[in-house]
Structure 1
Amino acid sequence: MKSISMKAVFFGTLLFCSNVFASDVSMEDPYVMIKEVSQITFDRFAREEQQIKANPNLLKGIVREELMPYVFYQYAALKVLGNYRKDASREEIQEFVVAFREYLITSYAQVFTLYDNQKIEFEPAKDFDKEKIVMVGVDVIDGNRPPINLKFKVRKNTKTNEWQAFDLVAEGVSLLDAKQKELRSILAQNGVPQVTEMLREKSKRDIVFKKNGKDDVMKEIGIDK
């Protein structure tokens, strides 16, 4: 099959997923963006705490509405596909990107079950003028327990000069790297459509509060250390 340009895939996928738009959060400073988006997201968690406890799947909706407009999931999906996209049709790649987005929503929602109105500390801003990718850290301070460390990997779009997150590093483990390792062998053996279907099934799983905290959450989203 013909190789598909990333530009064409991005355009088609953006049209397909055009129901989600970013709000007025600035995307010109990665540190400011992550701080503002995180605060908006965590504030909503706090406001809807009782509803979330009763129905944890509400976290998926919050992640979809508050976080995903700032996530460059198309870039992440195509990094996972790597050279395997050369053997897939445009439609197959678009379906994979959409399925990967839904999978990310479920994974991020599961990670955020670790948040229970704890104090949030943001990593101090660094000079990023010459950087194309930066890591923005967020610590969830959990009383006498060690902090829960999250890092958003953020990439600059050189055409728009806007920054978007494309990876979540939880407790030192990259979700994107873990998915690349997990899916590459399956892509090699079974192709893009089967992996797309697998991601669709994984994205349907219910969000649950784990009894053993972050260790169980890491296992649930497939980034067990």
Structure 2
Amino acid sequence: MNIKLTRIIMDLGKAMLFMLALVLANASYANQTNPQLLLEKVTTTTFERIEVEQQSIAANPDHLRRIIEQELMPHIDYKFAAFKVLGKHFRAVPKADIPEFVEEFRQYLISNFAVALANYGGQELFEPVKDTDNLKSMTVKAIIRDADRPDIHINFKLRKIKKTNEWKTYDLVAEGISLLSSKQSEFASIIRQQGIQGVIEVMKNKNGEPLNIAANSR
């Protein structure tokens, strides 16, 4: 093969690799900036891992926490959610206690998601999302269908992160019940009576418990 032909083939090969990298990069970017694509990707990956790793979960239920931590939490705006839960009490909370509260709330979400998703066996169907270019927050609607159970209607509340343009979920509304609103009501009375440390202790105790998913096993 002559030198000229070899160079042409090498140049074509480089061009093809560049185009492939560009396509993959754009697909990845689309997944991050399109809320529907992002949710579909994240939920599919999470539930596939739960299904595939059932043996590890059965041997050690806390393995489910690891799956949620790795697959789901990078797409949850837990800091914003934690501040929303504090609501009007946020300004009264000592600043020194905020980091501990946020971290315990993150672990609390992981525990709650793990128990809720332990026995997921249905199919999630998302409503098409329209143009989101000019939106800063939005709701993505989905239906979880399981042949053995009634449909579950879920609304994912998302907000766009300014610095990265990524969409992240901060609240779930299942059958009209908001996760953040329910936690806000639950924690409000504790904050009034015991302060923020009372809430932190409640979450610490919950987070320290082994996951109880035996009752919901598949």
C-alpha contact 1:154 1:163 (8 A) present in aligned 2: yes
Is 1:47 aligned to 2:52, yes or no? yes
Residue from 176, 180, 183 that aligns with 1:176: 180
Structure-2 residue corresponding to 1:145: 149
Q: Aligned with 1:137: secondary structure? A: strand
Query: Identical aligned pairs, as a percentage?
Result: 41
In structure 2, the CA distance between the partners of 1:92 and 1:152, relative to structure 1 (3 Å rule), is: same
Is 1:198 aligned to 2:185, yes or no? no
**How far apart are the structure 2 equivalents of 1:169 and 1:159?**
26
TM-score (norm 1): 0.75
In structure 2, the CA distance between the partners of 1:53 and 1:98, relative to structure 1 (3 Å rule), is: same
In structure 2, the CA distance between the partners of 1:204 and 1:25, relative to structure 1 (3 Å rule), is: farther
**How far apart are the structure 2 equivalents of 1:128 and 1:210?**
41
Structure-2 residue corresponding to 1:93: 98
Higher relative contact order (CA 8 A, sep 6+): 1
Could you list the per-position Cα deviations for residues 135-154 of structure 1 after superposition, in whole angstroms to 9, with x for gaps in the alignment? 22333321142123333211
Structure 2: runs of 5 or more not aligned: 1-27
Structure having the higher helix fraction is 2
Is 1:185 aligned to 2:194, yes or no? no
User: Which 4+ stretches in 1 moved above 4 angstroms?
Assistant: 210-213
**How far apart are the structure 1 equivalents of 2:151 and 2:194?**
40
Could you list the per-position Cα deviations for residues 129-175 of structure 1 after superposition, in whole angstroms to 9, with x for gaps in the alignment? 34322222333321142123333211112343221111122333111
Q: Aligned with 2:32: secondary structure? A: coil
Could you list the per-position Cα deviations for residues 96-154 of structure 1 after superposition, in whole angstroms to 9, with x for gaps in the alignment? 011110000001111102313x3332232233334322222333321142123333211
1:95 CA drift (Å)? 0.6
Residue from 157, 160, 165 that aligns with 2:161: 157
1:72 CA drift (Å)? 0.5
Structure 1: runs of 5 or more not aligned: 1-22, 214-225
TM-score (norm 2): 0.77
